[in-house]
């Protein structure tokens, strides 16, 4: 049995692992896709302190190596359910079971879909949720980017490196992204913003060939020929496998206290999966450090009880 089982190998999970394994606690991180998490899918991270021009993939790799240097084991598997009865917490994966005295949920959140016709059909054939992963497939093509927050604007700017034109589709008449990103986007000569506009349908034959758009102010419909569409319209917490006793809010985010403790003793939640306002690498890292210290207290109490 491990001391600490961590589900999710993003910045939150890996930071917890750095602290707990450094404290001599046997720690495993179970990750279903790619250690580094969501940050590993972003091209440039400009706001992580001390590393002003690091790529998301490189930062993720550094986090993983750092945790492994202190003895963390990183396992690739997808956790499908949890068994939480008693002092032993078990994360049940597709390939194995991981039992620990403490369980950390650091599963982040997955991209939200638009839910329009064509989105599922053309996923991976012109519909993408990751500019860093797929941007280079669209060299010299016209493409669209849907959304208006930081992630959407940042990724639209990244896409200008490949595309001949980037159509930014935004349902409101102003962007939500921070000012510095907005200024860069709005002054870019490859970018055209379609304000007050929503995607009604993604069209094509074998691959995406265009979008049917609707202006929400005028009701006017328009066909926009593009070879690809990148969608950044928010995220959904990855808590589908979490039992009720742990506690989630109405949107599915984990509810924790200031020590990252959930409603189930010995189960902690960190990072984007947690009910919070900010979803950043730095905030996930902060959660990881806070949780690790609370874990040490929890295990100390448990060991005190066991020795009596």
Q: Site residues (CB under 6 A) for ligand FAD?
A: 7-13, 30-34, 37-39, 42, 45-48, 78-79, 106-108, 151, 154-155, 238, 241, 271-273, 279-282, 284
If the CB atoms of residues 46 and 97 are measured against ligand FAD, the closer one turns out to be 46
We find the least distance from the C-beta atom of residue 199 to ligand FAD, in angstroms, to be 18
Annotated catalytic residue 145: no
CA distances from 209 to 58, 102, 206, 228, 229 (A): 34, 49, 9, 7, 10
**For residue 195, with 0-12 CB atoms within 10 Å meaning exposed, 13-18 middle and 19 or more buried, which class applies?**
middle
Close Cβ partners of 81 (under 8 Å, ≥ 6 residues apart): 92, 241, 243
Annotated catalytic residue 134: yes
If the CB atoms of residues 21 and 203 are measured against ligand FAD, the closer one turns out to be 21
Annotated catalytic residue 133: yes
Q: Token pair for residue 275?
A: 């009910």
Q: Are 101 and 299 in contact (CB under 8 A)?
A: yes
We find the least distance from the C-beta atom of residue 205 to ligand FAD, in angstroms, to be 29
Phi, psi of 299 (to 5 degrees): -65, -35
If the CB atoms of residues 48 and 215 are measured against ligand FAD, the closer one turns out to be 48
Phi, psi of 305 (to 5 degrees): -65, -40
We find the least distance from the C-beta atom of residue 36 to ligand FAD, in angstroms, to be 7
CA atoms within 13 A on the CB side of 74: 26
If the CB atoms of residues 228 and 271 are measured against ligand FAD, the closer one turns out to be 271
We find the least distance from the C-beta atom of residue 214 to ligand FAD, in angstroms, to be 25
How many other CB atoms are there within 10 angstroms of residue 235's CB atom?
18
Q: Which of 3, 134, 272, 287 is catalytic?
A: 134
Residues marked active site are found at: 130, 133-134
């Amino acid at each position: 049995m491990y001391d600490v089982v961590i589900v999710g190998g993003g910045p939150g999970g890996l930071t917890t692992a750095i602290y707990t394994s450094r404290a001599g606690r046997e720690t495993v991180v179970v990750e279903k896709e790619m250690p580094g998490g969501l940050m590993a899918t972003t091209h440039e991270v400009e706001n992580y302190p001390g590393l002003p021009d690091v790529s998301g993939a490189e930062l993720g790799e550094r986090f993983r190596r750092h945790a492994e240097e202190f003895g963390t084991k990183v396992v690739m598997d997808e956790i499908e359910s949890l068994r939480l009865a008693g002092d032993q917490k078990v994360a049940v994966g597709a390939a194995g079971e991981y039992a620990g005295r403490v369980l950390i949920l650091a599963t982040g959140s997955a991209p939200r879909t638009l839910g329009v016709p064509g989105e599922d059909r053309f996923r991976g054939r012109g519909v993408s949720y990751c500019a860093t992963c797929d941007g280079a497939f669209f060299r010299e093509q016209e493409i669209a980017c849907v959304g208006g927050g930081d992630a959407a604007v940042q990724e639209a700017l990244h896409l200008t490196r490949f595309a001949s034109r980037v159509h930014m589709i935004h349902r409101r008449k102003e962007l939500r992204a921070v000012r510095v990103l907005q200024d860069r986007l709005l002054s870019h000569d490859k970018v055209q913003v379609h304000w007050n506009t929503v995607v009604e349908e993604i069209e094509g034959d074998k691959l995406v060939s265009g979008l049917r758009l609707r202006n929400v102010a005028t009701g006017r419909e328009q066909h926009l020929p593009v070879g690809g569409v990148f969608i950044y319209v928010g995220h959904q917490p990855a808590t589908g496998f979490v039992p009720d006793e742990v506690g989630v809010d109405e949107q599915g985010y984990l509810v924790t206290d200031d020590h990252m403790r959930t409603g189930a003793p010995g189960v902690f939640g960190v990072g984007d999966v947690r009910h919070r306002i900010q979803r950043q690498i730095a905030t996930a890292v902060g959660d990881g450090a806070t949780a690790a210290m609370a874990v040490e207290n929890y295990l100390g109490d448990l060991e005190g009880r066991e020795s009596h």
